[in-house]
Amino acid sequence: MEKIASFQVDHLRLKPGVFVSRKDRFGETVLTTFDLRFREPNKEPVIDQPALHTIEHLGATFLRSHKTWANRVVYFGPMGCRTGFYVILEGDHSSADVLPLLREMLDWMIAFSGPIPGAAAAECGNWQEQNLNMAQWEARRYAKILENPAKENLNYPE
Ligand SMILES: [Zn+2]
């Protein structure tokens, strides 16, 4: 089997940031997959599992409820390596296009209080594994990266 595109990115030179991972065309429809990289791969500790899970619940809730983007949201979920998340949006988009949406999502997560959406036994496969405080710590840290991103935070290494 050939090496898939996401394994061809040089993870030794990849910085935290937001990257276009791939664009898939299905007839007239284009889906853009974004790599929301919270961590510098293989150099920084990975995201704690409960925090990762809480960010998944909050991020999916925010994006699927968003007033202008909701109907273009295909997917939001964590990477198995726990260094970030994938977002799949309908349409042909760049990293710069989604910065305002991601900043809004992070601000919402940072300000969030109350019960975590979907954190109930009937709604989730491991509902007790949540950590809102650590998820908010992660959101604040990632928001700083997206505040004033350099080229290396928006484009994969050449
Ligand atoms: Zn869950």
- The tokens of 64 are what? 């699927």
Residue 39's pLDDT is: 97
- Give the distance (Å) from ligand 1 centre to CA of residue 12: 30
For residue 6, what pLDDT band results from cuts at 50, 70 and 90? confident
pLDDT digit string, tens, across residues 64-103: 999 999 999 999 999 999 999 999 999 999 999 999 999 9
- Give the distance (Å) from ligand 1 centre to CA of residue 64: 15
- Give the distance (Å) from ligand 1 centre to CA of residue 135: 13
| CB neighbour class for 8 (10 Å; exposed up to 12, middle 13-18, buried from 19) | exposed
For residues 34 and 21, the answer to whether their CB atoms sit within 8 Å is yes
Residue 71's pLDDT is: 97
pLDDT digit string, tens, across residues 138-152: 999 999 999 999 999
> Taking the alpha carbons of 146, 131, 34, 45 in that order, is the dihedral positive or negative?
positive
pLDDT digit string, tens, across residues 107-158: 999 999 999 999 999 999 999 999 999 999 999 999 999 999 999 999 999 8
> DSSP secondary-structure letter at 46?
P
Q: What is the pTM of this model?
A: 0.96
Residue 137's pLDDT is: 98
**Terminal alpha carbon distance of the chain:** 24
- Give the distance (Å) from ligand 1 centre to CA of residue 2: 32
pLDDT digit string, tens, across residues 20-47: 999 999 999 999 999 999 999 999 999 9
pLDDT digit string, tens, across residues 71-82: 999 999 999 999
- Give the distance (Å) from ligand 1 centre to CA of residue 119: 6
Residue 5's pLDDT is: 85
- Give the distance (Å) from ligand 1 centre to CA of residue 113: 17
